[in-house]
Chains A and B, each alone.
Chain A
Amino acid sequence: MRETKSLSAPRRLQWMTATVRNVIDETPRVRSLVLDIPGWPGHRAGQHVDVRLTSEDGYQAQRSYSIASPPEAPKLMLTVERLADGEVSSYLAGDLRAGDTFELRGPVGGYFVWTAALGGPLFLVGGGSGIVPLMAMLRHRAAAASEAPATLLYSSRTQADIIYHAELEQLAGKGDGFRLVHTLTRDRPPGWGGLARRVDRAMLEETGFAPAETPRIFVCGPTPFVETAATQLRDIGHAAHLIKTERFGPSGR
């Protein structure tokens, strides 16, 4: 096995310089960065990059960020939620402006990936900024004109915190087999047509596909959100190997 592997030199993940072309305010705390990256090797929906920032005195900080754009898009998009005392996020979703540069490398991660060729049904469960890699999958599904049945269950704190709100509604309106279910955990605005509680087992059962339909399931968000939803999905009867998870942190303790 070692021999066969060393025949093809491993593809080294090089640090590349990204230039910010555009900054999009998605919500009061969340910002998308549209990037130019000469030499970007391409990616699959669901993968992430490692970002490295360097200060004037040479100090560096690295974090992972999911890719929001589909493989078909000409430019890479990241979407970053600004955390109050976040070392990297408060810079990327704060001071950073169009024309600025930073380093990144990738794509990283080969298992939290969906390609149209894999087909459906596809059940996406996202909490907060955990929508980011799921959005890449939905954008890829649309770009590839896939009609694989797909459902997104998306939990946000308040209506104002819903990331990609307009684009999600537009995708859901196409009638191509994509169904969108919102739930809000801290808000129930007048006229709200979605759900208004934390994701629970009943919600996963009612909105998702039956285990017999063997949906591919992707769960992404803060660690406690992912822990709970993934365990409930398994309890409902979905096979563990069909439940893929990406935990953004922190531990919640």
Chain B
Amino acid sequence: MSQSPISRGFRGRGRSGDTVTRVPPGQRLVTDFPVLSAGPTPPVDLANWRFAIDDGDSPVGDWTWGQFNALPQTDLTVDIHCVTTWSKLDTSWRGVTIDALLEAAGLSEPPGPFALIHCDGGYTTNVPSEDLVDGKAMIATQFDGETLDPEHGGPARLLVPHLYFWKSAKWVQRIQFLDSEVPGFWEENGYHIYGDPWREQRYDGD
């Protein structure tokens, strides 16, 4: 870091005092909620919405919108960090933890060590199964006390706040547990296979 050449005349303004310990390297705080998606926002269709969990190619659980909302709901307030360098503190979400989903599917633990998350529009992202359990992740349907905006992934998105936010895949439809790690859409496009913001794992090889 200290090797970086000084940009003559650049002063910057982002030094953020006591919040600094909550902001990973290379990130800055924002108060709005920027949007990053590779394509158009899909239309919401709750009547045909389904969420499924697969063990490899075998379905182990699936829920309609009504069934999903009848599962135990959890509130989570967390900091989120996008690879495009914005961070947002104390965001509040409501949804169903992956633990609760596994339990509802009659499983005591993920059926495989790796997960591939599938979304409307064909997008995928990969997350190790251990990063999804023990309260670390949920399928979120509410943000800040309101129905989750389609722009931000509504009706439902994955929330894995301790990884860069592209892993918190929007318009989520299915979690497929696998025996080996399969890189998702963003990961195939040069983003890091794991994506820990505290180790600045933005791109492949970081």
A250 near B32 (CB under 8 angstroms)? yes
Chain B residues with CB under 8 Å of A54's CB are 4-7, 10
B32 near A240 (CB under 8 angstroms)? no
A64 near B84 (CB under 8 angstroms)? yes
A227 near B151 (CB under 8 angstroms)? yes
Main secondary structure of the interface of A (DSSP, over half): mixed
In chain B between 154 and 206, which residues have their CB closer than 8 angstroms to a CB of chain A? 180-183, 185, 188-190, 193, 202-206
Q: Does A61 contact B (CB under 8 A)?
A: yes
A103 near B5 (CB under 8 angstroms)? yes
Chain B residues with CB under 8 Å of A251's CB are 32-35
Chain A residue with Cβ nearest B187: A5
B7 near A100 (CB under 8 angstroms)? yes
Chain A residues with CB under 8 Å of B32's CB are 250-253
A243-B6 contact in complex given A10-B204, A108-B190, C-beta closer than 8 Å: no
Q: Does A174 contact B (CB under 8 A)?
A: no
A-B Cβ contacts below 8 A, count? 139
Query: Which of A11-19, A75-83, A116-124, A131-139 contacts the other chain?
Result: A11-19
Chain B residues with CB under 8 Å of A231's CB are 40-41
Name A1's contact: one of B28, B37, B40, B183 (CB within 8 Å). B183
Q: Does A234 contact B (CB under 8 A)?
A: yes
Q: Does A223 contact B (CB under 8 A)?
A: yes
B10 near A53 (CB under 8 angstroms)? yes
A107-118 vs B, Cβ < 8 Å mask (1 yes, 0 no): 011111000000
Q: What is the interface size of chain B, counting residues whose CB is below 8 A from a CB of the partner?
A: 48
B36 near A247 (CB under 8 angstroms)? yes
Chain A residues with CB under 8 Å of B40's CB are 230-231, 233-234, 240, 243, 245
A227 near B6 (CB under 8 angstroms)? no
Chain B residues with CB under 8 Å of A87's CB are 12-14, 28
Give complex CA distance A58, B6 in Å.
8
A238-250 vs B, Cβ < 8 Å mask (1 yes, 0 no): 0011011101011
B183 near A101 (CB under 8 angstroms)? no
B24-44 vs A, Cβ < 8 Å mask (1 yes, 0 no): 001010101111111111110
In chain A between 26 and 74, which residues have their CB closer than 8 angstroms to a CB of chain B? 50, 52-56, 58-64
Chain B residues with CB under 8 Å of A63's CB are 85
Chain A residues with CB under 8 Å of B26's CB are 52, 60, 62
Chain B residue with Cβ nearest A54: B4
Chain A residue with Cβ nearest B13: A87
Chain A residues with CB under 8 Å of B42's CB are 240
Give complex CA distance A2, B182 in Å.
7
A230 near B41 (CB under 8 angstroms)? yes
Give complex CA distance A62, B1 in Å.
13
B10 near A55 (CB under 8 angstroms)? yes
Chain A residues with CB under 8 Å of B84's CB are 64, 249
A55 near B6 (CB under 8 angstroms)? yes
Chain A residue with Cβ nearest B203: A13
Chain B residues with CB under 8 Å of A112's CB are 38
B7 near A1 (CB under 8 angstroms)? no
Task: Please name 4 further chain A to chain B contacts, defined as beta carbons within 8 Å, in addition to the given A58-B1, A60-B26, sorted by A numbering.
Answer: A1-B183, A223-B35, A240-B39, A253-B32
Closest 10 CB pairs of A and B: A10-B205, A230-B40, A110-B189, A12-B205, A54-B4, A53-B7, A251-B32, A10-B204, A95-B9, A53-B10
